[in-house]
Structure 1
Amino acid sequence: MLSVYVDLALGLTVSFLLLSLLVSGLNEAVVRLLSIRSKFLWAYLRDTMDGSDAQGRSWLPANPGEVFAALPFTRDPRPQHSDQPSPAQPGELPEREDKAEDAMVKLLYQRVQEIDHPKSGRTSIANIPPGRFAVALMELAASEPDGVEGFLGKLRSMGSPLYGHLKGVWETAQRDLDRFRQGVETWFDGEMQRLSMLYKRYVKWVVAVLGLLVTLVFTMDGLEYAKTLLRDNALRASVTAVAGAGPGAYEELKARCGGDDPVRCVTETLSQPALVTMVDHALVSVSFPAEGDPVVRWNGGAWWDRITTPSHWPGFLLTYVALLFGAPFWWDVLRRVTGLRSRR
């Protein structure tokens, strides 16, 4: 009896794991296609180093919907790509109140453009190591006649939000250059961790939408799938009983198959696992006949009937909630159920 529940747990875990991997793959494809990570980083850098745009709007939206709507399509904060190495001398900051809209971002990109490769004419840099960022700022400070003090003065005259952060680091370092560099590196590392947490919080909304789409496209009814697994286990138990029992067990198996030939019934059931049966209800399904090429079938009518049937909605909800846990969770559950050990 215990093996029946173990099989049920394995079947549900594997199905939720595969669907979660599909959701993760779709999310990664969207992120890479739209360069979300790179745009997210440079939007933060523009807000931190140069401030808001000419219209007074923040580059990094506070609304998750705007991050994946306005940021990828209407406002690209990334600098133009350059295939040249970093210049020997960094450019100069604007004088007094003559503030260029993206002066600091351009200067920073000049110091890190050697690790870049083009993507649609824009930079593809999605991660700047804290050490490299600190060195870039030290190079910019070294280009000023008064060193860090002059650099901070230029930032203040430009109205750069970076002035307040660096001023605090400079005072904490007691005007020691080496300690200032380490302080900038520590500060930027903390900012990148905070930015990563913010990014993950935004991505959860995308995963939630993709999970809903996958559930509805495949019409994966978790409750119905569990019932199918139990029914297949019961059929296998009947087949095993026939092998060690008399004609009475054979008649019982024949009755279970609806009076048809048990051999054909058992063959069709065991050759088509429960997961494949559930995928057959998707909007588009693929079948592999015994002979010939695979057949792609449009299930628009049957799919709509399942979507509009209220009895399936609890199972859809179960599947959707399961997908929100993510593939790492279901992989860990699978390891625990099967006894697999992770190799680090």
Structure 2
Amino acid sequence: MLNSSVLEVAIGLSFCYASLALIVSTVQEALASALHLRAHTLLDGIKTMLNDPRFNGMARALYSHALINPHDDGQAGQQDALKHKPSYIEPLHFAIALIDTIGRVPGNIDKLGQDIDTLRDPQLRRALQGIYLRANGNFTEFEDGVAAWFDSAMARVSGEYKRRSMLVSVLLSLLLTVLFNIDSIHLFKVLWQHPALAAQIAAVPTAADRATIDLMFSLPIGWQTFPPAFDGSFLLQVAGWLITTSSSLFGAPFWFSTLQKIMQLRGTGAKPDEQRPLSGPRGVRRTWNDYAEGGR
């Protein structure tokens, strides 16, 4: 098996990037939970969808519905008065709540069409009229149409949330990279000159625990002198920071998977009891294609 300096350096870099991405994702999830970012993003998406930016029309009525916001008392007159904000809404529940809010006669599809025609907001009225016409008088199809409309709108909200999360991830990664001076170029040079440093990584950690942090600080990172001298070498250091920061965009699962694959290449193969026998039943010899295709 391969056991070269290239693999040792790859192990060290992959572990560093995986640990950094894991810490960034953990901090980001903690911030999202503490600041209720998902709930606020969902509310903003529904306000945009229903063309109610001031939260004084259909969005406020929906958030007073028990299916949408069961933990609130339904008496909030403005957005800041909401005691609870859901982080997720079932599409069918959204459709039922919207129909209950619009319709004056429950279950009457004809009367519902008339109620839609009396909506004040032209954008919302046109959207619901289109769904109503395509339902062709079928109440269930109208519910499904509203649920599909909600799904489509939430897909756009989800995309926006992911873009914001990526930006936060990059900023957190940059902050940690500069704080701990995780310079990829310097890290590569030291690991190339001293490949035995990567031998300390005996297992792939699965959480941002103490062992992960200890292993990470066994790598050549951190500040030797601070503040740094602002010369030509500092520009090279900034380039190393940017490389490290960009690595977090791939995410921790990618780097841990890469690290595991490199560790397998670095190893000596499977144990004897884990290797497949060279002969099949009744002494029939297996070919390489059989093993490649997963046959037993």
- Whether these two folds match at TM > 0.5 is yes
* Distance in 2 between residues matched to 1:303 and 1:131, nearest whole Å: 57
| Deviations 1:186-233, CA, capped at 9 Å, x for gaps | 121122112111211222222222221111111111122122223333
For structure 1, which runs of at least 5 residues remain unmatched after alignment? 54-100, 238-271, 282-298
Q: CA deviation at 1:128?
A: 0.6
Matched, 1:153 2:117: yes
What secondary structure is seen at the aligned counterpart in 2 of 1:304? coil
Change over 3 Å in CA distance of 1:279–1:150 after alignment to 2: same
Partner of 1:305: 228
Note if contact 1:219-1:307 (Cα within 8 Å) is conserved in structure 2. no
> TM-score, normalized by length of structure 2?
0.69
Matched, 1:333 2:258: yes
Superposed CA RMSD: 3.2
**Which is greater in Rg?**
1
User: Do the aligned partners of residues 50 and 216 (structure 1) sit closer, same or farther apart at CA in structure 2, a change above 3 Å counting?
Assistant: same
Deviations 1:108-159 (CA, angstroms, capped at 9, x unpaired): 122325543799963231111101111212323443486312330232xx22
1:18 & 1:186 partners in 2: Cα distance? 39
> What's the CA shift for 1:322?
1.6
In 1: Cα distance, 2:116 partner to 2:136 partner: 14
- In the TM superposition, what is the alpha-carbon distance from 1:160 to its structure 2 partner? 5.6
Q: Identify which of structures 1 and 2 has the higher relative contact order when contacts are C-alpha pairs closer than 8 Å and 6+ apart.
A: 2
Question: Aligned ranges for residues 167-178 of structure 1 at < 5 Å?
Answer: 167-178=129-140
Structure 2 match to 1:15:
16
- Please say if residues 9 and 198 of structure 2, whose CA atoms lie closer than 8 Å, have aligned partners that are also in contact: no
For residues 102-181 of structure 1, what are the structure 2 equivalents within 5 Å?
102-109=56-63, 110-112=65-67, 115-116=70-71, 122-144=83-105, 147-155=111-119, 158-159=120-121, 161-181=123-143
* Counterparts of 1:23 and 1:46, CA distance in 2: 30
Query: In structure 1, what is the Cα distance between the partners aligned to 2:230 and 2:262?
Result: 32
Unaligned 5+ runs, structure 2: 74-79, 200-213, 266-296
Query: Which residue does the alignment assign to 2:218?
Result: 276
Per the alignment, do residues 184 and 231 of structure 1 end up closer, same or farther by CA in structure 2, a change over 3 Å counting? Answer: same
Cα distance in 2 for residues equivalent to 1:235 and 1:10: 10
3-state DSSP of counterpart to 2:182:
coil
Q: Please name the residue that 2:154 is paired with.
A: 192
Distance 1:323 1:307, change over 3 A: farther
**C-alpha distance 178-304 of structure 1, shift in aligned 2 (>3 A):** same
Task: Look up the equivalent residue of 2:15 and give its one-letter code.
Answer: V
Shift of 1:280: 4.1
> What residue number does 1:322 align with?
247
Deviates more, 1:303-312 or 1:26-35: 303-312
Assess if the C-alpha contact under 8 Å between 2:103 and 2:112 holds in 1.
yes
Q: d(CA) in 1 for partners of 2:112 and 2:53? A: 24
Percent identity between the two aligned chains: 27
Q: How far, CA to CA, are the matches of 1:278 and 1:306 in structure 2? A: 19
- Kept after mapping to 2: 8 A contact 1:51/1:161: no
TM-score where L is the length of structure 1: 0.60
